[in-house]
Amino acid sequence: MRPDKYRIDVKVKTAYVDSQSDPKTDRYVFAYTVTIHNLGSASARLLARHWIITDARNQVQEVKGDGVVGEQPYLPPGGTFEYTSGTVIPTPVGMMGGSYIMQADDGTEFKAEIPVFTLSTPRTLH
């Protein structure tokens, strides 16, 4: 097996959703847009997700489930899938990261790491 056969690149952009947040009740809503790009030579389907969400109080939420936004996208070599979702945390700053379970056409399952990224309200971090 060539090491580059199963290569998935994950990039994330975040946005604070002021209109749905309520700092007075410790509710901070963030949207995140994920771009998944198959850099490998094997086609693969995203089967499941595993998120680890940590707030500024070091409280951890784990989210596991099938697919993303109700889909199990199929990515041929060079293929890209993008989706937007959201999360709610009780602090103005937090972190997210995790992994996707992917399955290649030959049945091989492998993990695609989601790099840790910061959730932050405007003007909180410089």
User: Nearest Cα to 101, choosing from 51, 33, 40?
Assistant: 51
What Å distances lie between residue 69 and 46, 48, 78, 86, 117, CA to CA? 11, 11, 21, 10, 19
Task: For 11-36, write each residue's pLDDT tens digit.
Answer: 999 999 999 999 999 999 999 999 99
**pLDDT, position 3:** 55
Number of H helices, E strands in the chain: 0, 8
The structure's pTM equals: 0.92
How confident is the model over 58-75, as a mean pLDDT? 97
Q: Cβ(52)–Cβ(60) under 8 Å?
A: yes
CATH tag, 8-120: 2.60.40.1470
Q: Where are the domains of the chain?
A: 8-120
Structure-token pair, residue 85: 């979702």
